[in-house]
Each structure stands twice: as C-alpha cells, then as structure tokens.
Amino acid sequence: MKQIKLDKINAIAGQKISKHTLNKKLSSLRERMFALQHLFYANADRSMLIIFQGMDTSGKDSTIRHVFSCINPLGVHAYSFIEPCDKEKKHDFLWRIYQQLPEKGRIQIFNRSHYEDILIPSVHQSLNKDLIERRYDYINSFEQELVDNGTIILKFYLHISKKEQNKRLEKRKIDPLKKWKYKKSDTTESKKWQDYMQAYERILNRCSSQVPWYIVPADDKQYRNYLVAKTIVDTLDHLKLKYPV
C-alpha cells in the first residue's frame, strides 16, 4: 500500500466550485440524509460511528454543525472527547470509548476519538514508545470488532494547511463568536506542527487496513462540508434500506 504523506496532499479543493453551488449541493444532501437516517433508525439492524480527527481549527465542530443540522436528534448523538478525567485514567484507554458507542439504529459522532490516545502521547512523548506501538494494534482490533458486530465506521481526517491554521487562530483571538475557543495552548501546540503531521501520518498509514480514512481538504469550509455529507449519504444509500414490514 502506498504510504500517505500529508505534505503531498492538497488541503484545498481539487476543483473550482462556487460557494453558492456547494451550499446548494449541501442542502440537497442534508435532505437526503434526513430520509436515510430515518430508514436507518427504523431498521435498527446496524449502527454507524462517524469519527472526526484533525488539527485545531480544521473545523471538526463546524463540520458537525453544518452537515448534521437537519438530522432528527432521536437517532443521532455527538460526543466530544477531551483530556481523560481522573476516573477515565483509572481504566484502559478504550474504556471511555466503549461508553459512547452507538446501539443498533443509531448514528454516533465522535469529535476527536481513541486516536487522541496515540496522537498526544506521540507528540508529547508522554508514553513508552513500545506501548504506543501496541495501541495501533489495539485500535485496529477494536474497530474490526465493531465492524464484525454490524457497526459502519467512517473516519474523516480534516486536512488543513499550516497557513490556513495560522489565519484561523488569529481570527479566534479577535472574533467575539470564536474568542471563547482560543486557549494559549493553541499557539503552543501549533508550533509542534511537524510533530503532529508525523504522528497523523503514522495513524493514517497504520490504521487504514480494516477501516480506511477519508482525507478531506479542509481549507475550504464549504467544500469540506459538502464532501463529508456526500460520503455519508453515499454510504447510507449503498445499504439500499427499506422500511420494515
């Protein structure tokens, strides 16, 4: 398998599509997603897990907000993983992930995920390298177990450029609607850009055999939202769902 090198992958859309056209396409996709999610909930024979990973400001929150704004909350839930609390630290790293897995008929969205437990220790060198290595295998086995049990997994890496990240971080400092998101650590972590890119490349290469990653150009917000929505709709359409008798 060809190795993924993020610096060789464009963070902007490969085709020129106007914002108006993209927003119109997204609106149509959301209508279709609403109908498909209702069918998925009614059948209740599979579950779906949607994972979003990406650098700060790549748009994980924003993508979830725009793509799923039309979904019936009865069958969809979003959960954001932050630094483990004291109780979570007393268990293995996948324990808190298991608590949030979707039941049959439900769609669960992860804003960050179990991949943070490879990413952060790799960048900050807070865990033994051998243990980090084993976590790749644990995660692959974990995801294969979910797939075997009827869970459809979609993994999105929102690929933002360093230049665009700097621009968005500066905007966070002054925009009243975004200022609450800004933390001093954002700037500190952005200086570790290359370390994060190397860690993400290892994740994307090592954890794609069972469940492949979708690398989404994230510099263009409208195109990012459209591409994520289209992937989800195409996946649900492929199931050819019908209402149970």
Q: Per 3-state DSSP, what percentage of the chain is helix, strand, and coil (rounded to 5)?
A: 50, 15, 35
Q: Tell me the pLDDT band of 2, cut-offs 50, 70 and 90.
A: confident
Calculate the CA 96 to chain-centre distance: 17
Per-residue pLDDT averaged across 96-124, rounded?
A: 98
pLDDT surpasses 80 at 87: yes
Pairing of strands 151-159, 47-54: parallel
Q: What is the pLDDT of residues 27-77, one digit of tens each?
A: 999 999 999 999 999 999 999 999 999 999 999 999 999 999 988 888 999
- Of 16-20, 92-96, 127-131, the poorest mean pLDDT is in 16-20
Whole-prediction pTM: 0.95
Sheet (strand 107-111) strand order: 76-80, 107-111, 47-54, 151-159, 213-217
Output the pLDDT for position 245: 87
- Going 124 to 125 to 126 to 131, the CA torsion angle's sign is positive
Query: What mean pLDDT comes out for the span 106-134?
Result: 97
Could you read off the pLDDT of 186-198 as tens digits, one per residue? 778 889 999 999 9
Specify whether the CB–CB gap between 190 and 169 falls below 8 A.
yes
**Are residues 74 and 88 in contact, defined by beta-carbon separation less than 8 angstroms?**
no
- Percent of the chain exceeding pLDDT 90 equals 85
Mean pLDDT for all residues in the chain? 94
1: pLDDT confidence band, cut at 50, 70 and 90?
A: low
177 versus 73: the higher-pLDDT residue is 73
- Which of 82-91, 126-135, 160-169, 174-183 has the lowest average pLDDT? 174-183
Q: Which long-range contacts does 91-95 make (Cβ < 8 Å, 24+ apart)? A: 93/117, 93/135, 94/138, 94/139, 94/142
What local confidence, expressed as pLDDT, does residue 70 receive?
87
Query: What distance in Å separates the CA atoms of residue 20 and residue 204, rounded to the nearest whole number?
Result: 32
Return the closest-CA partner of residue 175 out of 57, 21, 72: 57
How far apart are alpha carbons 8 and 202 in whole angstroms? 15
CB atoms closer than 10 angstroms to residue 209: 11
pLDDT at 222 > cutoff 80: yes
Going by pLDDT thresholds of 50, 70 and 90, the confidence category of residue 14 is confident
d(CA 202, CA 208) in angstroms, rounded, equals 10
49 sits in which H/E element? strand 47-54
47: three-class secondary structure by DSSP: strand
The domains located in the chain, with CATH, are: 6-238 (3.40.50.300)
The whole-number average pLDDT for the span 195-208 is 97
Least Cα distance to 46 among 152, 201, 203 occurs for 152
